[in-house]
């Protein structure tokens, strides 16, 4: 038996009501009171609360656009700041030999410089935001592929790994793999490649542990958490140990 085996049950398809049970009548007050007494996870649809063991509590189809939008906003903010500063310096260098001599000339000079800085900032922000979005999307897809590969590979051995194998290990594998691809794409030397790999390992491990903590608080801990609980509390159900 694989040591990191989850004790939770696997994914189960949600059951839909029979068409005969559907009605167009408004829900009664008793039904509304009963729904208000249920936990929020049982009232909201699965598209808002996520499927079992989903990273960050969201499905891949919902987590993907959110990660892409966040990465683009962060990349746009960094790129626009750097691009605006470079464009302003470039404009000053190109016009250093013909500085204005009057107050009106300085006004037009500053106005033109701000226009070039804004245009350069937007251009560089969009470019860098697109780059960050591409790498973030590739990282998220790689992480999901590693999760599915680990689950299917270990499931063939007869282990209960349908749930619980989405942990920090997959995040670290995806992060270090992309660090190698980035180093090869940019043609970095040995020392720069090692430094990039170490940085990717640190940040991916941190990000993976944050996801594991979120899943544990949600009540769906990774498989290694249940394994550690069984080692610390032998003879006790790991799911019932607080």
Q: Residue range 120-127: average pLDDT?
A: 95
On average, the pLDDT of the chain sits at 77
Which band of pLDDT confidence, cut at 50, 70 and 90, is reported for residue 240? low
pLDDT, tens only, 184-194 = 988 889 999 99
Range of 40-44, 159-163, 174-178 with top mean pLDDT: 174-178
Q: Decide if pLDDT at 232 tops 90.
A: no
pLDDT, tens only, 145-156 = 888 888 777 666
What distance in Å separates the CA atoms of residue 215 and residue 219, rounded to the nearest whole number? 6
What distance in Å separates the CA atoms of residue 138 and residue 51, rounded to the nearest whole number? 22
Task: Give CA torsion, residues 212, 213, 217, 222, to 10 deg.
Answer: 30
Cβ atoms 144, 114 nearer than 8 A: no
| Residues 6+ positions from 139 with CB-CB distance below 8 Å | 174, 175, 178
- Other Cβ atoms less than 10 A from the Cβ of 95: the count is 14
Which pTM value belongs to this model?
0.66
Listed residue (40, 24, 32, 4) closest to 154, CA to CA? 4
| Residues 6+ positions from 150 with CB-CB distance below 8 Å | 161, 165, 169, 170
Q: Which of 6-10, 113-117, 213-217 has the lowest mean pLDDT?
A: 6-10
């Amino acid at each position: 038996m694989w040591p990191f085996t989850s004790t939770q049950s696997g994914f189960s398809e949600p059951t839909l009501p029979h068409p005969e049970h559907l009605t167009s009548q408004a829900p009664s007050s008793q039904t509304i009171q009963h729904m208000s007494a249920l936990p929020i996870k049982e009232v909201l649809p699965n598209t808002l609360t996520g499927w079992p063991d989903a990273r960050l509590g969201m499905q891949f189809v919902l987590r993907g656009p959110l990660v892409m939008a966040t990465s683009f906003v962060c990349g746009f903010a960094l790129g626009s700041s750097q691009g605006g500063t470079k464009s302003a310096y470039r404009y000053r260098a190109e016009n250093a030999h013909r500085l204005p001599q009057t107050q009106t000339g300085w006004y037009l000079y500053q106005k033109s410089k701000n226009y070039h800085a804004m245009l350069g900032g937007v251009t560089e922000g969009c470019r860098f935001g697109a780059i960050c979005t591409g790498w973030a999307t590739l990282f998220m897809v790689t992480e999901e592929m590693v999760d599915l590969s680990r689950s299917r590979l270990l499931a063939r051995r007869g282990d209960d790994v349908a749930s619980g194998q989405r942990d920090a290990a997959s995040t670290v594998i995806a992060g270090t793999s992309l660090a190698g691809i980035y180093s090869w794409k940019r043609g970095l030397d040995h020392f720069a490649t090692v430094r990039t790999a170490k940085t990717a390992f640190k940040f991916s491990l941190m990000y993976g542990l944050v996801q594991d903590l979120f899943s544990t608080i949600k009540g769906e801990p990774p498989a290694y958490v249940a394994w550690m609980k069984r080692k610390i509390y032998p003879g006790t159900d790991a799911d019932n140990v607080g």
